[in-house]
Structure 1
Amino acid sequence: MNLAMDSDEPWMRSLHSDTGYLLYRLGLRSGQLFNAALQESGVRLRHYALLRYLATVEGALQRELSTSLGYDPSAIVSLVDDLERLGFVERRPAPGDRRSRIVVLTAAGGAFLRDTDKTSRGVTDELAEPLTADERKVLHGLLLRMAGEGSL
């Protein structure tokens, strides 16, 4: 007898009835798949996310990267160092403030994103495989709404 399924008590509900837990597990699985797919490149999902973000802006201060991506500021320094070693980003003087530096995507970083686009889409397709094309669009829209404008 499964008490969680047979009980009217809210505290006895099953783990998989918790949407937050399911989102967490899906996030873990997504990270595992992305990291496995990117393994040969020496880049991990966190690096990839930073590169994807930089592809949408004309450079960003490291503290802006931390806020926009939701990463600890100390992690951003390490990620940018890694990507700079690979030639995918550069630190440049910030316009109007010579003491600050912005992080900019290089041509090599853009080429890496183009080369890995099929890989990243493949991971997404694997995760969303049980869904129809219409359901994928709906899910994406719902996740964007849940994430809120600018909160991810």
Structure 2
Amino acid sequence: MPTAGNALFGLLHVYKRALRERYLRDGITLPLSHLRVLGEIGRHDGVMAREVATALLQDKGLITRVTRELEREGLIERHPHPTDSRAAHLALSADGRALRERLDAIEQTLEAQMAAGLSPARTRDFIDTVNAMTDQLDRDQESP
């Protein structure tokens, strides 16, 4: 009998593979983890690493390492935090914005393919269900 977990693993596997293939066809070779961080920074210019970690449900240490690599690649910039000398705001550089636009186009095409044949209501229901499951699992991880 199929389970929600198996269905989710199957979807994630196929989705990640399709993303990697499309990115590579477009000459984009950064790991998916780096591209997710780049996307999150692009959605919230001036975001701090800990906020990126929270949004992506990732460890702050990993996000710090990835942001340093993205900065070395010239894709993001660090700006001093106005009130906390230990923190920095992260923003996309011009090259980072250009890459983000390419990624957005690829992701929109893949999303359209993934949802082809589904009604808008069914797509919204899927998103709501996945978000509810994510919240439930995340809440369980935080409980003692």
* Distance in 2, Cα, partners of 1:133 & 1:21: 24
Q: State, as a whole percentage, how many aligned pairs show the same letter.
A: 23
Matched, 1:103 2:90: yes
Matched residues in 1 for 2:63 and 2:71: separation? Answer: 12
Q: Higher strand proportion, which one? A: 1
Report Cα offsets for 1:11-39 as digits up to 9, x if no partner: xxx2x2x1122112211221121122223
Residues paired across the two proteins, number = 134
Q: Which has the larger radius of gyration?
A: 1
TM-score by length of 1: 0.73
Query: Alpha-carbon deviations, 1:69-119, whole Å to 9, x = none?
Result: 111223212321222122221122111112222222222212211122221
How does 1:3-152 map onto structure 2 within 5 Å?
14=1, 16=2, 18-39=3-24, 40-148=27-135
Farther-moved stretch of structure 1 (134-143 vs 56-65): 134-143
TM superposition score normalised by structure 2: 0.76
Unaligned runs of 5+ in 1: 1-13
Aligned to 1:117, the other structure's residue is in SS state: helix
Aligned residue in 2 for 1:7? none
Matched-pair contact (CA < 8 Å) for 1:38–1:44? no
